[in-house]
Amino acid sequence: MRILVINPNTTASMTAKIGEAAASVASDATEIVAVNPADGPPSIEGYFDEIFAIPGIIAEMAKAQADAYVIACFDDTGLDAARCATEAPVIGIGEAAFHMASLVAGKFSVVTTLARSVPAIEHNLAKYGLASRCAKVRSSDVAVLELERPGSNARHRISQEIARAIREDHAEAIVLGCAGMADLARSLSEEHGVPVLDGVVCAVTLAESLFKVGLKTSKIGGYAAPRGKRFAGIFAPLSPAG
C-alpha cells in the first residue's frame, strides 16, 4: 500500500523527520511518501496558523493518490476536510495517539509545545470522546521550530514536563503533542519508564490496519464528497468537481 504522510507546515526538515518515523514502523509492503505544502506557515501554533495550512493539505492530496493519508499535525489540522476529499482512510496523528494511549493506560497526559495549542487539543479530546481518559494537557513552553534547531534544550524541557505529568497528574502514559517530537518518543519512554506515544507512528499503524481490513471513509453525512462548484481567486485550482 501507499501512505501519503502530509506535514501541513512548510518546514522540510520536520517533514524528513516525520517521514523517517513513519517508515520506521511501516511494513515492508508499505510505501511511505512524506510531503509538505510549498505555501503556508512554517509551523502550526494555534488556530490562526491552522487556517492557512488547510488549503495546502488538500492540494497535496490532489497531487498524489494514495491508499491512505496521514495528517501529521497534532491539532489534526484539516482532518475533517481531508476526509471529505477522499474515500481512502485519513488519520490524524492526534486522534491516533489518543486512541492508542487509551489502550495501554487508564489515564494519559499530553505534553505539547506552547500554551496556545492546549485549547485546540482539549477541544479535540472532547470531540473524540476521550477527554475523560486524559489527565491533563500540558505545555512544555517549547516553540515548534525549536525542535528543529541544533543545540536547543527542547528535549530537556519536554522531559521535565513529562516528569511533572507522571508525578502530579498520575499519568500512566504520555502522548507527545507535536509531530516535531517524533524522534523523541523511544528515548523518553526509556528515560521515564512509561509508554510515550508519538502520533506519527500511531497513525501509520492504524492506516495500515484500516487498509488491511478494507475500511474506507464513509461518504454518507458529514464526510460526503464536496458538491461541485467553482471557487474564486487563489482557491480556484482547488474547486471540487462534484
User: What are 89-142's pLDDT values in tens digits?
Assistant: 999 999 999 999 999 999 999 999 999 999 999 999 999 999 999 999 999 999
pLDDT band at 159 (very low <50, low <70, confident <90, very high): very high
Q: Is the pLDDT reported for residue 151 higher than 90?
A: no
Distance CA 179, CA 17 (A): 9
Alpha-carbon separation of residue 3 from 24, 46, 70, 158 (angstroms): 13, 26, 7, 29
Q: Is the pLDDT reported for residue 153 higher than 90?
A: yes
Mean pLDDT of the chain: 96
- What predicted TM-score, i.e. pTM, was given to this entire model? 0.95
Distance CA 235, CA 242 (A): 16
Nearest in space to 42 (alpha carbons), one of 16, 61, 14: 14
- Residue 135: its pLDDT value, please? 98
Distance CA 34, CA 118 (A): 26
Distance CA 73, CA 179 (A): 6
